[in-house]
């Protein structure tokens, strides 16, 4: 058997189809039927407004920041984590 023929025989062992099937099988077996998924409420507009309020325009017209400590409510990441 030539190398090309051999590779053709065993390609499913190493290439995409089996890996993809295995992946979907694992995901399927480890998932749950969930009727009401959790909800994450994000107020991006309000967050942007608060951010804008913290910016001050100085006499030269350039923006400066107040230098407040970051709070959990400032980031979507921390909101989601909580």
The only residue of 45, 58, 59, 61 in contact with another protein, by rule CB under 8 A: 45
Of 59 and 82, the one with the shorter C-beta distance to another protein is 82
- Residue 6 engages another protein in binding (rule: CB under 8 A): no
Whole-angstrom distance, CA of residue 66 vs CA of residue 51? 10
The only residue of 2, 13, 17, 41 in contact with another protein, by rule CB under 8 A: 41
- Residue 13 engages another protein in binding (rule: CB under 8 A): no
Instruction: Please state, as a whole number, how many other Cβ atoms lie within 10 Å of the Cβ of residue 50.
Output: 13
Q: Which residues pair with 57 in a beta bridge?
A: 63
- Residue 61 engages another protein in binding (rule: CB under 8 A): no
Q: State residue 23 phi and psi, 5-degree precision.
A: -60, -50
């Amino acid at each position: 058997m030539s190398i090309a023929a051999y590779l053709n025989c065993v390609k499913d062992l190493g290439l995409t189809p089996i890996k993809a099937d295995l992946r979907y099988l694992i995901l399927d077996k480890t998932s749950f039927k969930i009727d009401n998924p959790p909800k994450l409420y994000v107020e991006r507009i309000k967050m942007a407004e608060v951010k804008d309020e913290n910016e001050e325009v100085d006499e030269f017209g350039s923006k400066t920041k107040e230098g407040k400590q970051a709070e959990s409510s400032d980031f979507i990441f921390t909101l989601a984590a909580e």
